[in-house]
A and B are shown apart, each in its own frame.
Chain A
């Protein structure tokens, strides 16, 4: 998994690329750390336009991150998932826990 984090105007956008699996956790944590710790950031977007693969472990990782974001009073959203990824998110009713934006 590759990542790039951009913070501007109180919103952090984490661009994720490639495969997200259980092995991605260290990278994912690094990618989201600055967004989580920045007091100015009120919203965090996980941009998944470049994500090719997402497994159930990655879903758990995002849920875990969502709990941390909520505790820090930040709103998490998943943005621009490609159709196969959107299908996976839909299958597990992920939209009930995290905002998903097209």
Chain B
């Protein structure tokens, strides 16, 4: 077991124990006599082997060793000590200065000793006062050096903790990034603070955030925590972009000092409709690379965040994307290395599929002979409606009855037992208030209730049909799991359609849960056996009372329409 070193660690203190290794008893006696006057504890060894054993056993703070000794030389001892320190204390803030005592002044010897890891020489013969002065100076320098090591180690620890915190805030969104959506960060060793984040809202709704705080190091990284916290919370309730940006700004204004700020690019893409909203506060131009070769820019329209309490009127830009269009955003770390014309050329040459590879190759090329000075972040979000994997809501062109959507309502439902019970009738009443006849209200309450219950049971509570062997068992289990604060939410999208003359036509409803789905095909397959009523009654009710019932393949997205009887 290596002994704990007596070196300065978190608390920096001067050397206390000195190991003197010399085959000359006179030198050892001088060291013992004069250094003891300064309060040092002196350890003595007459040869290198004994010196090394004492070093391992006593962990001195400083070593004085003769260069020319029988057996192990001073250079050998220095190498052995450095090897021992590396093997046992690598990565820790330890520093033991080794001073070579020698009467040989040849440059080759000095070089050997330095290469072995010695820090200083003391030419023999020396007087006692001379030794005291030199050792005092070396000990002071060692204390300063050790303090620096401690500070560096602490800073490294702080950076590790900060990166962990940021990962926790960013990773859930990144993990839910749809296939084909790219968000990449090339980070320097230090924290520069670039964050590239995604938040999945209601089905088909995606929020993106690129953030580049001023400066670097811990303070830049720390400012990302409230930014990410506010982004996740506000995007989670589908607040308009101006509201999200204002919320982040207010957080930063309240928490940061006035000389700190963050540049932010915020965007929202609805994959059902291709509707894109962008708000740029101090970042390089975001761009949409259109499939037809055109380019749309989103220049900064707001000052960076954290400077003023109120950002005033914010200009959010809205565009409608066509299939194949791509949104691109980046931090200035990227444009410093790859100017914008080259980015545009890379996209025009490679298209959406080839662009990421070309961009990475350009970055590799630019960083071949220079170190990364600033974090590089970029994102590329293609609009590919065909890749949705779930049914989009019927748009006006898809309807054959001539009705058009007049009201769209998105809800995210976090279930509790009470909310579970009350959401369906209240939502049904609201939807019916849009001009529906009375008969729709009750039908809608039933089918909504069944769809929500199905989504919560399967998607959030993990209740599968195997539990339905006993009514009491199933209900008890449901009660237990509901009471255990289930994680996740059910998303509802309701679209009220009106007939050409403006009267109520029907309501289209989509319910999405975050689960793995269920075997809806077998549940719908055979409802002829009355005994089977014990299972699948909810689906039977929806199928009988609603129209256009459909599921996605997995079974975690259900949609249907409710018409007046």
A residues whose Cβ falls under 8 Å from a Cβ of B: 19, 21-23, 25, 52-57, 59-61, 63-64, 84, 87-88, 91-94, 96-97
Contacts and interface: CB of A to CB of B under 8 A. Distances in A.
Contact of A22 (B442, B475, B545): B475
A96 B533 CA distance: 10
A92 B539 CA distance: 10
Interface stretch (B101-109, B242-250, B337-345, B444-452): B444-452
A73 to B, nearest CB: 20
Contact of B541 (A52, A53, A91, A96): A91
Interface in B442-477: 442-443, 445-446, 449-450, 453, 471-472, 474-475
Q: By CB atoms of chain A within 10 A, which of B418, B439, B475, B527 has the most? A: B475
A55 B446 contact: yes
The 8 closest A-B pairs by CB, nearest first: A64-B471, A56-B537, A91-B544, A56-B538, A96-B530, A84-B442, A55-B449, A23-B421
A13 B537 CA distance: 26
A53 B471 contact: no
Nearest to B531: A97
5 contacts: A21-B449, A56-B450, A56-B453, A56-B541, A88-B541
Contact of B533 (A25, A52, A55, A63): A63
Given A25-B475, A53-B446, A91-B545, A97 B530 contact: yes
A91 B543 CA distance: 9
Contacts of A22: 420-421, 453, 475, 478
B453 A55 contact: yes
Interface of B: 417-418, 420-421, 425, 439, 442-443, 445-446, 449-450, 453, 471-472, 474-475, 478, 527, 530, 533-534, 537-538, 540-541, 544-545
B540 A63 contact: no
- Chain A: interface secondary structure? helix
Contacts of B439: 84
Contacts of A92: 533, 537, 540-541, 544
A61 B537 CA distance: 12
Contact of A21 (B421, B443, B471, B534): B421
Contacts of A59: 533, 537
Nearest to B443: A84
A60 B534 CA distance: 6
Contact of A63 (B425, B445, B471): B471
A21 B456 CA distance: 15
A94 B545 contact: no
B438 to A, nearest CB: 10
Contacts of A54: 446
B507 to A, nearest CB: 17
Nearest to B439: A84
A88 B443 CA distance: 9
A5 B420 CA distance: 28
Nearest to B530: A96
Nearest to A90: B544
A22 B471 CA distance: 11
A88 B446 contact: yes
A81 B224 CA distance: 60
Contacts of B418: 23
Contacts of B453: 22, 55-57
A22 B418 CA distance: 11
A53 B425 contact: yes
A57 B418 CA distance: 15
Contact of B537 (A60, A64, A87, A96): A60
Contacts of A21: 421, 449
B538 to A, nearest CB: 4
Contacts of B445: 53
B462 to A, nearest CB: 17
Given A22-B478, A84-B442, A91-B540, A97 B533 contact: yes
Contacts of B534: 60, 63
B332 to A, nearest CB: 55
B533 A19 contact: no
Contact of B472 (A23, A64, A91): A64
A77 B34 CA distance: 109
A53 B471 CA distance: 20
A96 B538 CA distance: 17
Contacts of B527: 93
B73 to A, nearest CB: 85
Contacts of B541: 55-56, 88, 91-92
B480 to A, nearest CB: 13
Q: By CB atoms of chain A within 10 A, which of B439, B442, B445, B527 has the most? A: B442
A19 B425 contact: yes
A56 B544 CA distance: 13
Nearest to A62: B471
B422 to A, nearest CB: 9
A87 B425 CA distance: 17
A30 to B, nearest CB: 15
Given A22-B421, A55-B450, 4 more contacts: A52-B442, A53-B442, A92-B533, A92-B541
Contacts of A64: 471-472
B533 A94 contact: yes
Contacts of A87: 545
Nearest to A94: B533
A49 B92 CA distance: 79
A34 B377 CA distance: 70
Contacts of A88: 446, 541, 545
Nearest to B452: A55
A19 B428 CA distance: 14
A70 B417 CA distance: 31
Contacts of B449: 21, 53, 55
Contacts of B417: 23
Contacts of B474: 60
A21 B453 CA distance: 11
